[in-house]
Amino acid sequence: MSKIGPNDECWCGSGKKYKRCHQSRDLLKELRTESLSPIARMASNPRQVRPGALSPMRAVPPHIVRPDYALTGKPQAARQKTVIKSADQIERMRSACRAARRVLEIAKAAVRPGITTDAIDAITHQAYIDLGGYPSTLNYHGYPKSLCTSVNEVICHGIPDSRPLEEGDIVNLDITIFIDGMHGDLSETVLVGEVDEESRRLVRVTHECMMRGIASVNPGAMIRDIGRGIQTVAEREGFGVVKAFVGHGIGEQFHMDPQVPHYYDRSQTTEMVPNMVFTIEPMINQGDYRHVMWDDRWTAVTLDLKRSAQFEHTILVTERGVEILTLPDGVAQPFAH
Q: What is the pLDDT of residue 312?
A: 98
> Mean pLDDT for the chain?
91
What percent of the chain lies above the pLDDT cut of 70?
Answer: 84
Q: In degrees rounded to 5, what are phi and psi of residue 104?
A: -60, -40
pLDDT at 149 over 90: yes
Q: Identify the structural domains of the chain with CATH numbers, from first to last.
A: 80-324 (3.90.230.10)
pLDDT at 282 over 90: yes
Question: Average of pLDDT values for 83-96?
Answer: 96
Residue 318 to residue 301: CA distance in whole angstroms: 35
> Which whole number is the average pLDDT over 288-312?
96
Q: For residue range 319-331, list pLDDT tens digits in order.
A: 999 999 999 999 9
CB 213 within 8 A of CB 282: yes
Give the model confidence (pLDDT) of 229-248 as tens digits.
999 999 999 999 999 999 99
Is the pLDDT at 307 greater than 70? The verdict is yes
pLDDT category of residue 76 using cuts at 50, 70 and 90: confident
- Per-residue pLDDT at 33 exceeds 50: no
pLDDT at position 224, please? Answer: 97
- Kindly give, in sequence order, each residue whose CB lies less than 8 Å from that of residue 215, ignoring residues fewer than 6 positions away: 229, 322, 335
- pLDDT on residue 35: 46
What sign has the CA pseudo-torsion 217, 223, 225, 226?
A: positive
Mean pLDDT of 195-219: 98
Per-residue model confidence (pLDDT) at position 39: 47
Which backbone phi and psi does 17 adopt, to 5 degrees? -65, 145
Higher-confidence position of 32 and 73: 73
Judged against a pLDDT cut of 70, whether residue 40 lies above it is answered with no
In this prediction, residue 179 carries a pLDDT of: 98
Q: How many residues does the chain have?
A: 337
| pLDDT for the residue numbered 32 | 45
* pLDDT at position 6 over 90: no
3-state secondary structure the chain: CCCCCCCCECCCCCCCEHHHCCHHHHHHHHHHHHCCHHHHHHHHCCCCCCCCCCCCCCCCCCCCCCCCCCCCCCCCCCCCCCCECCHHHHHHHHHHHHHHHHHHHHHHHHCCCCCEHHHHHHHHHHHHHHCCCEECCCCHHHCCCCCEEEECCEEECCCCCCCECCCCCEEEEEEEEEECCEEEEEEEEEECCCCCHHHHHHHHHHHHHHHHHHHCCCCCCECHHHHHHHHHHHHHCCCEECCCCCEEECCCCCCEEEEECCCCCCCCCCECCCCEEEEECCEEECCCCCEEECCCCCCEEECCCCCEEECEEEEEECCCCEEECCCCCCCCCCCCC
Whether the bond between 258 and the residue before it is cis, its omega within 30 degrees of 0, is: yes
143 neighbors 135 (Cβ within 8 angstroms): no
Mean pLDDT lowest for which of 15-24, 150-159, 201-210?
15-24
pLDDT of residue 4: 57
User: Given this model, what pLDDT does residue 77 score?
Assistant: 75
| Across 20-25, average pLDDT | 62
Exposure letters 276-302 (e unless 16+ CB within 10 A, then b): bbbbbbbbbbbbebbbbbbeebbbbbb
In this prediction, residues 54-73 reach a mean pLDDT of 97
Q: What is the pLDDT of residues 107-148, one digit of tens each?
A: 999 999 999 999 999 999 999 999 999 999 999 999 999 999
